[in-house]
Amino acid sequence: MSAVAARPVAVIGCRPGVAGGVCFLEDQVVLHAVGAGCVQLHLKQNWREFIPGTEKTRGVQAMAISPDRRYLAAAETAGDQPVLTVYDLSSVPARRRRTLSATELPERVAVALAFSPDCQYLAAATAPPEGHLTYWLWEKQRLMAAVRLEAPGSSVCQVSFSPQDNAQVCFTGNGFFKLFKYSEGTLKQMNLEKGMPQNYLCHTWLSEEEVICGTDTGKLILFETGDLLWETSVEYRKPHRELEEDATTTEYERCSVCSSVDNGSQQDSLPQISAIAAYSKGFACSSSPGIVLLFEKTRGKELYKESQEIWLPKDRFSNDPEKSGRQNIICICFSPSEETMVVNTHKNQLYVFTMFTTDFMKERIAYFKYLTFPLHSASITGLDICVWKPILATCSLDRSVRIWNYRTNTLELYKEYREEAHTVSLHPTGLFCLVGFSDKLRFISLLYEDMHVFKELAVMKCRECSFSSRGHLFAAVNGNVIEIYSSITFQNINNLKGHSGKIHSVKWSADDTKFISCDTHGAVYEWNLSTGERETDCVLKSCRYSSIDLSSDAKVIFAVGSDQTLKEISESSIQHEVPAFGVVYTAVAVSHSGHMVFVGTSLGTIRAMKYPLPLTADFNEYQAHAGAVTKMSITNDDQFLLTASEDGSIFIWKVYEKGGEVVKWQKEAEYAEEVLIMRSDIKEKSQAMLDLQIRVKELQTENYYQLSLKDMYYNEKIKELEDNFTQEISSLKTKHQNLQAEKENQERQHQLQVSELMNKQAREMQKLESDSNQKLLMENEKYQELDEKSQKMQEEYEKQLHSLEESKSKAVKELTEYYEEKLNEKSVLLKETEEDMRRQFRAHEEIEKQIYEDEDQEIMEIKIKYERQLWEEKESNMQLKGEIGVMNKRLNSLQKELKERNRYIEEIKLAQQKLQHFIKSLEDDILSLKKEIQERTNTIQDKEKHIYDLKKKNQELEKCRFVLDHRIVELKKLIEARGNDIKIMKKQIYEMEGELERFHKESTQLKLNITQLQQKLKATDNEMHRERQKKHNMEALLKQFKADLHNCAGFIQEPQKLKNGIRELYTKYVQDSDLEEIEIAQKDLQPECMRQREYLERNLAALKKKLVKNQETHRGAYMHIMQENMSLIKEINDLRQELKAALTQLHHLKSTLKLTKKREAIQNTAPPSEPLPSPAVLRLNAEKENEKIIEMQQLEIQYLRNQIQEKGQSTPVEPLLAGNLPELNLEGSHKTQQQ
């Protein structure tokens, strides 16, 4: 095999029209069809793993993923043969596990696939008419059952398994909804179709018994075990206003009509359910282009209710943004955790939406975003790379030009145009590109976020263009002529004429000294650019060349064409030819090192071979594209191979040689980071930044003003809360006192009850002891009597046992003899019955053979009869189908004519409405302008009157200013007096706080005493528990002693044993030390207990008296402090109000002064003929005097504030009172007044 190898590291694209074309393998791994296989895409890590299809495949037609996400089933067409393959995704890389085929069925490609819940079975369906549903045990490659289904026309069909039943299959399509059950090697239909047949486009299982289907008329139909359960219709949805911002209502309706015409499947804006998928809360479906509706389960009559709309986003780089969001959604899938939803559209685009788990985060209308980036939706016609940057440019028949980064596998730039793009070439710097459109050749600047057309050249239908290796020249094909232009001046330097056919490929040498071209008439020319003449040529008229490439030294030309060979041309002749072995080569690329040659075929495969070229099939072939390879190129460092195809996919290959080693370049590639940007864009951005900064400042001032207002509001609130809390505190204190008194009464009652209970317990204990002693004696007597009885009974029972044993042995002997006789008789009977059975079995076999022969004859007769009937029915059906076809054609033609007339009428109506709206708007503008002129004349007169009134008011305000100055002096004196009062009150507060601290200390001392008493109480409790434990131990010992005594009493007739038993009891239970301890404890216990009790009672009584006294003194002092505190707060509030009033007066004065300044300025500008209002205005330097007075007053106010703050800081307040007496925020209020 060849030493050259390649591995796909990235696959960009998506294959359209694949049933189940998108699915999840994990929460972050998506699998979708692309090219001639499938690709695994990790959403976060952005890696891609390509799974190639079978050999000579034309791409995947249908696919399905198993419920355990381990297996992938794919239906393909390899050559002309349909192939059904199962892949194992758990192995790395994914390997082909099984290939399924059935000779008894017609060879047709499956259009729908589904795995059973346990992943053992696979259902496959072929498209109508004469479709088949097959049921496979795929691990053993065994066809278990097949059903033939005839349906009108070739429609969309879908197959699926019940989520919990391997044997239940649902099959839907145009005019049929069938549920099948597999049993005994056949698929039996379970449901009977009722009502009018519907065109079911899609379905999904909601539970083990419920299936919901979507129709082409926008209906959602829910079946339960095959019977209709619920039905609803979904309206045709138009985009939300946010999606189409600038469109008017008339334009909006026109766009929706256009989209319906483009889609073809939608007629007169009718809804159709094109895709549906279930999830835990309900299901999602697409009812109109560009929208997915989420339905959730409800408990009402409506089983499912719409909860959310999700729209496709509008593409701002598209030439028609409204249409970009109106794509038909053909597949919906959810991740295993149901956190993300991915959809696939008919334009090869993939979108993703993040699902919200909580309802409060869910919006009514939401939008998808691209899964990765927008993809090509048509054949790629051009591909090129540059030297400075790791980017490639592609253009397509979808009218878009895209710039990709082949190292990061991302889309950097993208723009759609109005014309189809046929060729693209990147400048070596990567800052410019040439694009050949059907009308012109455009020189485009690649900006930071856009593509800007810098120059347009009049080259019609340019199919090939190319920059020179150094970038100073570029070539463009214009018909049969190659035009050479300067990249700097855009002047036509030379025209290369001589080709008779269409030029398919051009190539520059590395040093730009040679230029090579090829055409469809088999000519390969080498041109001299200085003279414009051919230097060498090689013509082979039997071959239509499609692509050429040059070796690095420009001595060898490699060319491919329609004759299925790769040619090596040098010195005007073909030196070597390599056969293609049954395919057509469409593209060729040679490495810069000269050791590797890559070719693309018409089947979409890539072949890698080493140079010099081999004569045999010594190459590595890779399945890649589903269409012919249109363009391919190798990067300058020979590490990556880039290929593009007619199916709209791009493959990025990593190149290896010599046993898997990556190709090493002499120097590591260093790429430029520079980008272009328009001057206007910079200006717009700087202007936007300035606007934002101004807006930030405005918001800051607004925020500051709002904060000051909030401070004032919250201060008032705090005052109200303080008043409420003081009232609550007083009420709680009274409650506390009442509860304290109740507590004391309850404690007294409790003590009395405890003393009574103790006395009762002592009496009851004495009674119990006496009773227990009497009972013990009684029980002892009873025990002795029972012991005697038990001995007698034992003797009697022993005698009875002996007699029973003798009788039992006799009975056993008799029974054994009887049953042995019976056994002999039964064995003889058994032998006789076996012989009878053999005779009957032989007779049964003979009868069975006769029955089978009779049945076969009957079946053959019935078969012949029904085959005749079937043939007659088929002939009649064929005649009816022909008639129906003719009628359908007539109907379709009439419908088309009707539609065209309706559209024409609607367009005329729309134009008329536009003109009427335009006339009305002009008339309204004229009326509004007249009104504005009248209003402005009125406002001018009013302003003149207002100026005269203001002049009069100015004179009066100056008089008031002198009166207010006098008032300010008096207020300052009052403030000083109040300041002295505040000092005196602060001293009183400080003294009260000292008293409070003393009370706190006393209360803490009392708490300590209480804790000591509590500890003593705990100690007594512990002693009590110990005594109780001793009591329990003694009771247990007593029980044990009683049991042992009872045992000794059994030896009452045997004196020696009784004596020994009593001695053992004595040694076991009686000890000298125990006796001594008991005597000592009995003597000392009672007096010590009495002494402790008396001491504790005395302490407790003294502590209670102290506590009552302390509470009374503390309560009085606290009430006194609270009253003084309330009076101080009232005085401070009064002072604050007076200060606020003074500040407001000051603010009014300032505003009047400003008004006077404005009036004086107006008077200065006024004509001299106007009379002066009063002599007060004629004072010298009036403005300066006013400013000085205001400054003096401000300085005095600031001085007073500083003094108040210093005095407030000199007397520290505890945190307890800090909450009751907040600081005066004089500066904040003064600032608000100034504003």
DSSP string computed for 569-613: EETTEEEEEEE-SSS-EEEEEE-TTSSEEEEEETTS-EEEEESSP
C-alpha span between 1174 and 1153 (Å, rounded): 17
Mean pLDDT of 788-800: 79
At residue 498, the 3 state secondary structure works out as: coil
Mean pLDDT of 370-390: 93
Mean pLDDT of 125-144: 87
C-alpha span between 712 and 1228 (Å, rounded): 9
Q: What is the mean pLDDT of the chain?
A: 83
Q: How far is CA 913 from the centre of its chain?
A: 45
Mean pLDDT of 393-397: 95
C-alpha span between 677 and 73 (Å, rounded): 49
Residues in the chain: 1235
| Per-residue model confidence as pLDDT tens digits over 402-440 | 999 999 999 999 999 999 999 999 999 999 999 999 889
Q: How confident is the model at residue 557 (pLDDT cuts 50, 70, 90)?
A: very high
Identity of the amino acid at 803: S
- 657 pLDDT above the threshold of 80: no
- 247 pLDDT above the threshold of 50: no
Q: Could you tell me the pTM of the whole model?
A: 0.59
pLDDT at residue 310, as a whole number: 92
In our burial notation (b when 16+ CB lie closer than 10 A, e otherwise), range 1149-1188 reads bbebbeebeebeeeeeeeeeeeeeeeeebeeeeeeeebee
- Single out the residue of 1221, 1226, 1229, 1231 nearest to residue 1203, CA to CA: 1226
- 1216 pLDDT above the threshold of 50: no
Share of the chain above pLDDT 90, in %: 31
97 near 114, Cβ under 8 Å? Answer: no
C-alpha span between 26 and 29 (Å, rounded): 5
168 near 162, Cβ under 8 Å? Answer: yes
- Single out the residue of 932, 986, 1044, 871 nearest to residue 1224, CA to CA: 986
- 333 pLDDT above the threshold of 80: yes
Cβ-based burial of 459 (10 A; exposed 0-12, middle 13-18, buried ≥19): buried
- 260 pLDDT above the threshold of 60: no
C-alpha span between 112 and 171 (Å, rounded): 10
Q: How confident is the model at residue 1180 (pLDDT cuts 50, 70, 90)?
A: very low
Mean pLDDT of 1083-1110: 80
pLDDT at residue 295, as a whole number: 93
Token digits of residue 1065: 């009891």
C-alpha span between 407 and 11 (Å, rounded): 12
pLDDT at residue 666, as a whole number: 52
| Per-residue model confidence as pLDDT tens digits over 994-1027 | 778 888 888 888 888 888 888 888 888 888 888 8
Select the more confidently predicted residue: 35 or 962: 35
pLDDT at residue 511, as a whole number: 87
- 602 pLDDT above the threshold of 70: yes
| Per-residue model confidence as pLDDT tens digits over 271-324 | 899 999 999 999 999 998 999 999 999 887 788 999 899 999 988 778 777 777
| Per-residue model confidence as pLDDT tens digits over 701-755 | 898 888 888 888 888 988 888 888 888 888 888 888 888 888 888 888 888 888 8
Token digits of residue 686: 């700087």
- 693 pLDDT above the threshold of 50: yes
pLDDT at residue 161, as a whole number: 95
Q: How confident is the model at residue 1224 (pLDDT cuts 50, 70, 90)?
A: very low
At residue 390, the 3 state secondary structure works out as: coil
Q: Which range (581-590, 643-652, 813-822) has the least confidence?
A: 813-822
Which residues are within 8 A (CB) of 118 and not within 5 positions of it... i.e. 6 or more apart?
A: 166
Q: How confident is the model at residue 1233 (pLDDT cuts 50, 70, 90)?
A: very low
Which residues are within 8 A (CB) of 267 and not within 5 positions of it... i.e. 6 or more apart?
A: 260
- 1226 pLDDT above the threshold of 60: no
Residue 56: how many other CB atoms lie within 10 Å: 20
- 1232 pLDDT above the threshold of 50: no
**Cα dihedral 104, 105, 109, 113 in deg (nearest 10):** -100
Select the more confidently predicted residue: 187 or 780: 187
C-alpha span between 408 and 391 (Å, rounded): 10
- Single out the residue of 589, 588, 590, 627 nearest to residue 605, CA to CA: 627
| Per-residue model confidence as pLDDT tens digits over 1118-1138 | 787 778 778 778 878 887 787
- 243 pLDDT above the threshold of 50: no
For Cα atoms 1061, 1062, 1065, give the angle at the middle one, nearest 5 degrees: 90
Q: How many CA atoms lie within 13 A of 5 on its CB side?
A: 11
C-alpha span between 503 and 497 (Å, rounded): 11
Q: Any bridge partners for residue 547, and if so which?
A: 560
- 522 pLDDT above the threshold of 50: yes
pLDDT at residue 567, as a whole number: 92
- 124 pLDDT above the threshold of 90: yes
712 near 1235, Cβ under 8 Å? Answer: no
Q: How far is CA 86 from the centre of its chain?
A: 31
- Single out the residue of 674, 667, 234, 669 nearest to residue 448, CA to CA: 674
Identity of the amino acid at 653: W
| Per-residue model confidence as pLDDT tens digits over 852-902 | 777 777 777 787 877 778 887 877 777 787 778 777 777 887 788 888 888
pLDDT at residue 1182, as a whole number: 52
Q: Which helix (H) or strand (E) holds 897?
A: helix 679-1049
pLDDT at residue 1079, as a whole number: 65
- Single out the residue of 330, 262, 253 nearest to residue 290, CA to CA: 330
| Per-residue model confidence as pLDDT tens digits over 8-26 | 999 999 998 899 999 999 9
pLDDT at residue 890, as a whole number: 76
